[in-house]
């Protein structure tokens, strides 16, 4: 059997935990009550056994000896999430834009996959997708 994680937490440095928390809860994501929610961190649940830990940039820098990426210049990764419909993709991206996020790219329709993306308040890239499994298989 292949190695799998029972739980995954992506740690993202943010400039202002309260603002980032408001952004992601404004999108509809919930907080993980099992993790600290304070001025240095907040855990946002984005899927079954998957969360994003929003960590204050200053505190984040104490967790590593490496410099964190300047998201104004560099993309370190894209966080890709899949949802149940094209309409949900549009709703999420439009809500992100209304909450202060920026457009990452124009929507793309590949028939089997619909993709749109945004940049959050701290410059992290989010790809929001709908996969039409019937079209992908046929």
Give the pLDDT of residue 133: 77
Q: What percent of the chain lies above the pLDDT cut of 70?
A: 97
Cβ atoms of residues 93 and 81 within 8 Å: no
Instruction: Indicate the pTM of the whole model.
Output: 0.92
Instruction: Write out the two tokens for 98.
Output: 């209304």
Alpha-carbon torsion 84, 87, 89, 95, what sign?
A: negative
Q: Mean pLDDT, to the nearest integer, of 30-56?
A: 94
User: Do residues 12 and 42 touch, judged by C-beta distance below 8 A?
Assistant: no
Other residues' Cβ atoms within 10 Å of the Cβ of residue 129: 17
Q: Which residues pair with residue 127 across a beta bridge? A: 80, 117
The predicted-structure confidence for 7-19, as pLDDT tens digits, reads as follows 999 999 999 999 9
Give the separation between CA 14 and CA 22, rounded to whole angstroms.
Answer: 12
pLDDT band of 126, cuts 50, 70, 90: very high
Predicted pLDDT at 57: 94
H helix runs in 1-85, sequence order: 17-27, 57-61
Beta bridge partners of 64: none
pLDDT given at position 135:
64
Sign of CA pseudo-dihedral 20, 23, 27, 31: positive
pLDDT attached to residue 68: 87
Distance between CA atoms of residues 25 and 84, nearest Å? 19
Sign of CA dihedral 18, 24, 30, 31: negative
The model's pLDDT over 79-125, given as tens digits with 9 standing for 90+, comes to: 999 999 999 999 999 999 999 999 998 999 999 999 999 999 999 99
């Amino acid at each position: 059997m292949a190695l799998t994680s029972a739980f995954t937490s992506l740690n993202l440095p943010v400039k202002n935990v309260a603002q980032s928390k408001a952004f992601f809860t404004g999108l509809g994501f919930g907080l993980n009550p099992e993790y600290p929610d304070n001025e240095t961190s907040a855990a946002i649940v984005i899927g079954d056994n998957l969360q994003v830990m929003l960590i204050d940039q200053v505190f984040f820098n104490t967790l590593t000896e490496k410099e964190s990426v300047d998201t104004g210049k560099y993309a370190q990764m894209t966080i890709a999430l899949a949802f149940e419909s094209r309409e949900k993709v549009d709703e999420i991206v439009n809500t992100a834009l209304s909450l202060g996020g920026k457009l990452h790219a124009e929507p793309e329709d590949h028939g089997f996959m619909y993709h749109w993306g945004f940049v959050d308040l701290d410059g992290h890239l989010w790809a929001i997708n709908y996969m039409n499994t019937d079209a992908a298989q046929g």
